[in-house]
Structure 1
Amino acid sequence: MSESGVLVVVRHGETEWSRLGRHTGLTDLPLTPLGEEQARLTGRALAGRSFDLVLTSPLRRALDTAALAGHPDAAVETDLVEWDYGPVEGLTRAEVSRELGHPWTAVEGGVRVPVRSGTQPGLPQWGPGVSDEGELVGDVAARAARVIGRVTPVLRSGGDVLLFAHGHLLRIFACVWLGIAPEVAERLAFGTASRSVLGFERDREALLQWNIAPETLDPAATPDTGRVAVTDRRSPADRRLPVDEARLTAALLDVVGLMDTLRSPGGCPWDAEQTHASLAPYAIEEAHEVAEAAESGDLGALREELGDLLLQVLFHARVAAERPEAEGGFALTQVAEGLAAKLRRRHPHVFPDASGVVTEIDDADGVNRQWDRIKETEKATRGTAGTASVLDGIPESLPALMRAQKVLCRARRADIAVGPDPDAPPTDDEADLGADLLALVARADALGIDAEAALRRQVRSLVAQVRAAESDAFTD
């Protein structure tokens, strides 16, 4: 018997609604500029492979992904159309959960629920358009089974098949392929323009690879062209510390989902009533606990404290996501995208710019000078150049010694002569004592010593001495 072929399934690239987490069934949206570039990168990953059968959903976002990936002649298969979400079309999971008063997902709760429709008048619809009731999970699974019936003979004869379709449809498709309940689809992450490979293992249907992302992209498109820059992404073999991407993705999605449940109706009352302001003290406390664990050398404690600090990031992002974007709302995705863009922008000596140029820098001092120049450029872009201070961004809530050293360091790098002479003789009154402390901080900064850490170490030593004395007194 000839060796069976493989089935490669590709989710369409990003659309505006997929970016916002809105259920997009039969609303026929185009790809965003990022989605178009994602599709091209997926095409590069598939280049050189021949397929005996290429099928695509009739929806525009799938058709365009197929074309940009190098398969403009893919045959249309109407059974690959995305789930008809009915009344939840255009709504996010969080919006539906709030209206229902309990946590909800499309797969586990179904789409035939009493909520307002998110469908927006004027947007193009495929075929008959979004229905009033929507499809049952079983209806989607039945369509997936029909497609499987069409492609299986090709695969069994040794041919390879390529499908372009949609997130929910393909996740349910994978469940039907494996012969498991379609409800398991809710546990399968499938990113935009990602691809997965189904096939056979010992002559049984198997999942060979899942959720392979396209090249990492910089989602910050230039306003005039909408062009998206591709980042310098090393292959897993080139990384100093390889990343288990599937496990990382699953873990992050899990904690995001847990946070969503805690914050949604039917979740935790305490979590539900928190605000950015009420959460602020916890972020400070957790940051201090991370610092303490890091200095102790206890990696187990550090891992736990980093998780607690990550919770604060997730919590603030979840609270912010409840506001409309027009009012400044954002989700964790925008936080991560902004951070990634900033890291690339501020490290041109590591990551190439849009023209592929990498800045040459010889040492850490050069990196610091470049960092300052880049921040000045960013201020000019925001229209704050000339009005900003070198001290901007140093929180007043920092511990006094830490803030003093940051102020002195910033001033020194800006060639601003401030602060006392580190060698000035000490005096006795309160004002002079403050000056003496500041002089010590200046001396620490000149020597490259972290004054706060040095003081914490001495305080820990003092604490140990006190506790030892207490222990001795107790045993006596």
Structure 2
Amino acid sequence: MPADTASPADIMPLAQIMARLRDPQLGCPWDVAQDFASIAPYTIEEAYEVADAIARNDMAALCDELGDLLLQVVFHARMAEQANAFALQDVIDAISAKMVRRHPHVFGDGADRTTGHAQWEVIKAQERAEKEPDPSALAGVALALPSLLRAEKLQKRAARTGFDWPDTQGAVAKIHEELDEVHGAATPDEQEEEVGDLLFAVVNLARHLKIDPETALRKANIKFERRFRAMEADAGDRFVELSLEDKEALWQRAKQKLKASDG
């Protein structure tokens, strides 16, 4: 593998800081008290904050949030080292070897670079088969993933076996079918189940349209928040007391005002 001409980043100062923070005698009591389970929510939160900085195109914030995310990696690695499981260097070595192994079209001799992603998926599937005792095509889709992302991954795995709509028409029809079942649900438990099926069907349509459902929903949240805040600004202190009809009029006004920027 050719050497990178850039100066290598030095992660050791951060690792040394974490080692001190986790020192049972000299460290921070809060850091010492943590374990993998207690830190996991922070790891997920930091990943979302990275995504938020990217969405806002805020490079200063992205730099800061990437540092916070990197700290999570170092934190988990230090806890693992203290448990005699693995160390930070093992993490770095493992991901480095994986990236080279899954990119034979880049690091191999005379490889065809146009086959990149297809090769990645084949190699990934082979690796999963070697270490995963569960023979299902759905094996290894982490339960802890956000539900939208996990739904998409499950559907992609199923699609590789041929279990998929041939086009968007089937996905759209399924949404209508699930919506009818929501209307027909008689109990709260049935309603919850049918709404879940409806959401799953919407993710399926997004996948067929090559839309990331998480990104789409995040943008919808941002749009709703901007419009709602515009409504509040127009109404002032009297907003809560307004009738639903008046609020709807404010919503339509905000929608028109922000339409150009919302797209």
TM-score by length of 2: 0.76
Partner of 1:302: 62
Backbone CA RMSD of aligned residues: 2.4
Q: Which amino acid aligns with 1:233?
A: P
Contact 1:283 1:309 in 2 (8 A): yes
Partner of 2:170: 421
Give the aligned partner of residue 73 of structure 1: none
Matches within 5 A, 1:360-379: 360-362=112-114, 366-379=115-128
Aligned match of 1:109: none
Match of 1:359 among 100, 111, 117: 111
Equivalent residues in 2 for 1:38-437 (5 A)? 232-236=1-5, 243-245=6-8, 248-249=9-10, 252-264=11-23, 265-324=25-84, 329-352=85-108, 357-362=109-114, 366-382=115-131, 384=132, 387-417=134-164, 421-424=170-173, 425=176, 426-427=179-180, 428-429=183-184, 430=191, 431-437=193-199
Task: State the partner residue of 1:469.
Answer: 231
Report SS of the residue matched to 2:107.
Answer: coil
Measured after TM superposition, the shift of residue 405 of structure 1 is: 1.4
SS in 1 for 2:68: helix
Tell me how far 1:339 sits from its aligned partner.
0.3
Q: Deviations over 1:310-364 (max 9, x none)?
A: 111000111111123xxxx111000000000000011111112xxxx343242xx
> Could you say if the C-alpha distance between residues 323 and 371 of structure 1 is closer, same or farther in structure 2, counting changes exceeding 3 Å?
same
Distance change in 2, residues 1:244/1:272 (3 Å)? same
Instruction: Give 3-state SS (helix, strand or coil) of 2:47's partner.
Output: helix
1:380 offset after TM fit, Å? Answer: 4.7
Aligned-partner Cα distance in 2 for 1:418–1:400: 21
- Deviations 1:107-140, CA, capped at 9 Å, x for gaps: xxxxxxxxxxxxxxxxxxxxxxxxxxxxxxxxxx
Structure 2 distance, partners of 1:434, 1:418, is 19
Residues 258, 266 of structure 1: alpha-carbon distance in 2 compared, 3 angstrom cutoff: same
Q: Distance in 1 between matches of 2:148 and 2:125?
A: 26
**Count of matched residue pairs:** 222
Matched position secondary structure for 1:259: helix
Residues 272/235 of structure 1: CA separation in 2 closer, same or farther (3 Å cut): closer
The one-letter code sitting in structure 1 at the alignment partner of 2:149 is M
- Report if aligned partners of 1:391, 1:410 keep a CA contact under 8 Å in 2: yes
Higher relative contact order (CA 8 A, sep 6+): 1
Q: Any gaps of 5 or more consecutive residues in structure 2? A: 185-190, 239-263
Task: Give the Cα separation in 2 of the matches to 1:315 and 1:235.
Answer: 27
Name the SS for the 1:421 alignment partner. Answer: helix
CA 1:361/1:415 → structure 2, altered by over 3 Å: closer, same or farther? farther
String of CA shifts for 1:220-272, please: whole Å, max 9, x gaps: xxxxxxxxxxxx12452xxxxxx333xx22xx121111111111121211111
Structure 1, gaps ≥5 residues long: 1-231, 237-242
Q: What secondary structure sits across from 2:221 in the alignment?
A: helix
Which structure dedicates a bigger proportion of its chain to strand?
A: 1
* Residues 381, 452 of structure 1: alpha-carbon distance in 2 compared, 3 angstrom cutoff: closer
Contact conserved, 2:18 with 2:74, CA < 8 A, in 1? yes
Distance 1:315 1:379, change over 3 A: same
Distance 1:464 1:380, change over 3 A: closer
Query: Identity rate of aligned residues, in percent?
Result: 40
1:332/1:358 CA distance change after superposition, 3 Å: farther
Change (3 A) 1:379 1:423: closer
Instruction: Name the aligned partner's letter for residue 2 of structure 2.
Output: R
2:202 maps to amino acid: L
Q: Which has the larger radius of gyration?
A: 1
Distance across 2 between alignment mates of 1:433 and 1:421:
18
Q: Structure 2 counterpart of 1:371, which letter?
A: W
Q: 1:418 to 1:395 in 2, by over 3 A?
A: farther
Q: Does 1:448 align with 2:204?
A: no
Q: In 2, Cα distance between the equivalents of 1:473 and 1:350?
A: 59
C-alpha contact 1:293 1:299 (8 A) present in aligned 2: yes
> 1: distance between equivalents of 2:32 and 2:65?
23
Do the aligned partners of 1:349 and 1:360 also contact (CA within 8 Å) in 2?
Answer: yes
Contact 2:106/2:113 (CA < 8 Å) preserved in 1? no
